[in-house]
Structure 1
Amino acid sequence: MKKSTLKLQYNAPVTLSIFFLSLFALLLGQATSGWTTTQLFSVYRASPLDPLFYVRLFGHVLGHAGWEHFLNNMLLLLVVGPPLEEKYGSRTLLTGIAITALVTGILQCVLFPGSALLGASGIVFMLIMLSSLAGMRNGAIPLTLVLVAALYLGQQIYDIVFVQDNVANFMHIAGGVCGTVFGFAVRKR
């Protein structure tokens, strides 16, 4: 008779690594009274001669303003990320995440020079749009993509116009666009 043993499996290395790095960044930010969050895990316009500027261009997706911000992003990341990582592979998913981080970081510096951006929301929305493309067959655009895009864009535009908060809705849209473009690019390969 075979013994059954339960083991934990690091089943989605990119997704889980982002989760643990984000958790570490949040705890480090709390331990340093926000210094590391500002210096490493937020992106804002700075001199290109500052080496940390390039760290922030990618590292901002790991930073979070607090536990609620962290939990909202990580719950979605942990639900959507693993199946996509299984479908597309870890390297491909990491490429999409890095491109989205870079695009949203650059857009933040160019379009909103007086403010900082942090959090994995752009990445999460990239993954949501990418997942809505997962059922694409024979070049036909999945209805799920159309519905998700309409609902998602509608909500983000509504929030931009009518809700006054510190949420970077434009970067959510940018993340969604990155996910859609990346999904079509990966599909063609």
Structure 2
Amino acid sequence: MDDTTAIIVAGTPGVGKSTISSMLLTELGCNNVVEPSEVAVREGLGRPDPERPGTLIIDEEGLLRAVASRLMGPCTLIPTHYPSLFLDWEEFNVNVPFVLLLRLNPLVLEERLMSRGWQRRKVLENVMAEALGSVAEELLDYSDMTVEVDTTWLSPEEVLERSLGALSEWRVGITIDWLSDDRVAEAVAAWGRELDLYYDRVNYGG
């Protein structure tokens, strides 16, 4: 792996990682965007998860090396919802100057994913992940290099402006707690009950 800078844009599926990564290309003078999920499919690095239809079990080592081989100087953007997969690999980590973590209110995320025609179970799993801070939790050990941006109700242009402003002032750290919002906390309880029904059908053949 050469000295190409790798910039990770992290967040739950649906928060706008790919859009912002594309917009950051020009702003940061980068050459390309590498989508790990697309690389996994193209290279056949995943196999179907029998317990979660529509989900792949990824060959993580194979994916790491496949993504690393696609880095182009001076920098490459990597939008992913598994940032620790790359950051925990020391050979990759040394080339990452910062992580941009995009957050989105789970109630808004639910509407966005439903409008895309996603299966209800997949929507529930992703809004729960955002509400509980699953991606953010992966970055706790890297909070001193993580810039967190709340994208709720912002246009892509506004998200870009806020991200660049936070980077220029080096406002790092992970602080967003969606569960402090009573509406989100109530929704999480309801989503959890709904998910239990899906899991029961799988486990008991319903």
What's the TM-score once normalised by structure 1's chain length? Answer: 0.26
What's the TM-score once normalised by structure 2's chain length? Answer: 0.25
Whichever structure has more helix as a proportion of its residues is 1
Whichever structure has more strand as a proportion of its residues is 2
